[in-house]
Amino acid sequence: MYGKPALGTVLPMAGLTATPEVLPGIPFARGLQEVAGAGFLLYVSAAIALLSIKLWFRLHSSGASTGDRT
Amino acid sequence: MITEILLWSAIAIIVMAGCYNATLFVLSRRRVRRAHGPRRQRLYVFLLACLNEERVLAESLARITGLPAGNFMALVIDDASDDGTADIARAAARATPGRVQLLQRHLPDARRGKGAALNAGIRHLRSSGLLDGYDPHDVIVCVVDADGRLDPHVVQAVDPYFDNPRTGGTQIGVRMYNRDKGLLARLQDMEFVIYGDIFQSARRYIGSVGMGGNGQFMRLAALDTLMGEDGGGPWSDSLTEDLDLGVRLIAGGWTNQHCTTAAVSQQAVLDVRRLVRQRSRWFQGHLQSAGLVPLILREVPTRAAVDLLYHLSSPVLILLTSLLPLSFLVALTGTAIGSVQAGRPLISPLWVLGPYVLSFTAAYAYAFVYSRRERGLGLLRAVLLSHVFIFYGYIWFAAGWWGLWRMLTGKQTWLKTART
């Protein structure tokens, strides 16, 4: 997929000189960012789980090959 | 506290993608040292799966039959076209005896996707005797789209990669031959150049080079190892059968290569709606490829596996990231309204600087890479173009949500992208 360049984007909160809550739409904008953040935490959790499985496969296969040689 | 964590996590998506892109950019600048084996005389077979391609097929066949290579042929797989596709193939076969073969498929067996058509092509090569006497290690099968225009030196450029007996497939670059026909075509050309010259080139070091649907060269012996138990053929029925095949080659112990010195040129889509639809199909195919994860975990070496898992998970990242520009747009509108109400601007210069750095730093790297391919463009124009390219990437957001919707509603059939 050629979508990697799309993964750079912007943060709406930086640079505000007023309290965000008094501006219309800001709580909603912040909510969207929180949803994205929550999704990313889930993504990271799944990635850690998958990498752990991969590590287990690797250790398991290296142990098996060592067993073959001895 | 939780709110803060979630907001920082959203930023972490951008940081992670930025670090990944920067790493691959650095890797892509390194020279590659290729392993060599004995030089062999090889047969090149070009497979063209065609469904109603009369507008573009003749030009593509003329390019192939005119290649300055010794031992090659083209097999046109007509997937029950309604137009003159088969007639064009027959005419090319008459004009260049032995160079062009035609396989006609008929309904109800035809029109079951590109993978099924290519599998039929491989079966035909076997059953027709065209490959009799050839060692499958010395037969290179190349998938070309019907609108694909191969560089004349493509065989000479690709052939040395197959001197390494572990090379299963080699992907060449992809360009748009109508890139001068407007901004959308130009941006697609830039997209494919960046993908090839940065991401694919870097993956040569990682061992995770992917196969594309056009300009995909594969050793027949490698394809033979991917045959299903039903003997159907190496290609799956996935919407992105090329991605699927590339991963299964790596899992099978083969090495995929990326050739930067030759390219196939195809027709860019000139309409935004059709482009989004095309990308939705790719996105849906990418989601289907999640089924490859167990195979990657079991069979693929760790470094390549990590990269492939990241690559396969990019649809998730795209969907998550799509919320951020939306958030920015809502906040921008709200702040503009608030500024009018307050009678003074409520935005500091950080509004410009921070988002610009986060969004457009990559544009300079992309401009550097693209200007090296398009010498006539110049670096300054390439930099301006790459800024537009960043916004062009947002097409994936629309395509992503559309593709997800189609998957959730169980819609699997897609019309192919029409030629113009």
Tens of pLDDT, residue by residue over B28-82, are 998 877 666 667 789 999 999 999 998 889 989 999 999 887 889 999 999 999 9
Q: Is B375 inside a domain boundary? A: yes
The whole-number average pLDDT for the span A46-64 is 88
Q: What is the pLDDT of residue A68?
A: 46
Q: Which residues of A touch B394 (CB under 8 A)?
A: 6
Q: How many CA atoms lie within 13 A of B369 on its CB side?
A: 25
Q: Are B80 and B191 within one domain? A: yes
Q: Are B250 and B369 within one domain? A: no
Among the partner residues A2, A23, A53, nearest to B297 by beta-carbon distance = A53
For B309-332, what is each residue's pLDDT tens digit? 999 999 999 999 999 888 888 888
Domain count, chain B: 2
Give the span between the Cα atoms of B71 and B104, in whole angstroms. 24
Question: How far off is chain A from B94, nearest CA to CA, in Å?
Answer: 39
Instruction: Report in angstroms the alpha-carbon separations of B252 from A58, B24, B56, B233.
Output: 16, 24, 35, 15
Give the span between the Cα atoms of B124 and B102, in whole angstroms. 10
Q: What is the pLDDT of residue A20?
A: 60
For B142-157, what is each residue's pLDDT tens digit? 999 988 899 999 999 9
Share of chain B above pLDDT 90, in %: 58
pLDDT band at B105 (very low <50, low <70, confident <90, very high): very high
Q: Is B84 inside a domain boundary? A: yes
Q: Is B109 inside a domain boundary? A: yes
Q: Are B79 and B210 within one domain? A: yes
CA B406 to chain centre: 21
Q: Which residues of A touch B320 (CB under 8 A)?
A: 36, 39-40, 43
Give the span between the Cα atoms of B154 and B240, in whole angstroms. 24
> pTM of the prediction?
0.87
Q: Are B361 and B212 within one domain? A: no
Q: Under DSSP, is residue B213 helix (H, G, I), strand (E, B) or coil?
A: coil
Q: What is the pLDDT of residue B204?
A: 93
Q: Are B156 and B68 within one domain? A: yes
Residue B335 in this model has a pLDDT that exceeds 90: no
CA dihedral (B5, B6, B12, B14) in degrees, to 10, reads: -150
Q: Are B330 and B258 within one domain? A: no
Q: Is B411 inside a domain boundary? A: no
| Domain limit, last residue, from B271, B306, B334 | B271
Q: Is B145 inside a domain boundary? A: yes
Buried b (16+ CB within 10 A) or exposed e, A53-69: ebeebeeeeeeeeeeee
Residue B113 belongs to domain with CATH number:
3.90.550.10
Q: Which residues of A touch B398 (CB under 8 A)?
A: none
Q: Are B242 and B349 within one domain? A: no
Listed in order, strand segments (DSSP E) in B211-299 are: 216-219, 255-266
pLDDT band at B414 (very low <50, low <70, confident <90, very high): low
CB contact under 8 A, B358 and A36: no
**For all residues of chain B together, what is the average pLDDT?**
89
For B375-407, what is each residue's pLDDT tens digit? 888 899 999 999 999 999 899 999 999 999 988
Q: Are B256 and B347 within one domain? A: no
The whole-number average pLDDT for the span B362-368 is 92
Which of A2-11, B224-233, B337-346 is predicted least confidently? A2-11
A64 phi, psi to nearest 5 deg: -65, -40
Q: Is B359 inside a domain boundary? A: yes
Q: Are B261 and B154 within one domain? A: yes
Q: Are B254 and B129 within one domain? A: yes
Q: Is B23 inside a domain boundary? A: no
Question: How far off is chain A from B238, nearest CA to CA, in Å?
Answer: 14
Strand order in the sheet with B72-79: B100-105, B72-79, B43-50, B139-143, B216-219, B167-176, B255-266, B149-150
Residues spanned by the domain of B333: 323-393
Q: Are B349 and B202 within one domain? A: no
CB contact under 8 A, A47 and B293: no
Which of B239-253, B349-363, B391-405 is predicted least confidently? B349-363
Residue A4 in this model has a pLDDT that exceeds 50: no
For chains A and B, CB pairs below 8 A equal 209
**Tokens linked to B301:** 């070496």
Which of B11-15, B181-185, B192-196, B363-367 is predicted least confidently? B11-15
Q: Are B344 and B230 within one domain? A: no
Q: Is B216 inside a domain boundary? A: yes
Instruction: Report in angstroms the alpha-carbon separations of B371 from B46, B172, B261, B374, B379.
Output: 31, 19, 16, 5, 6
Residue B192 in this model has a pLDDT that exceeds 90: yes
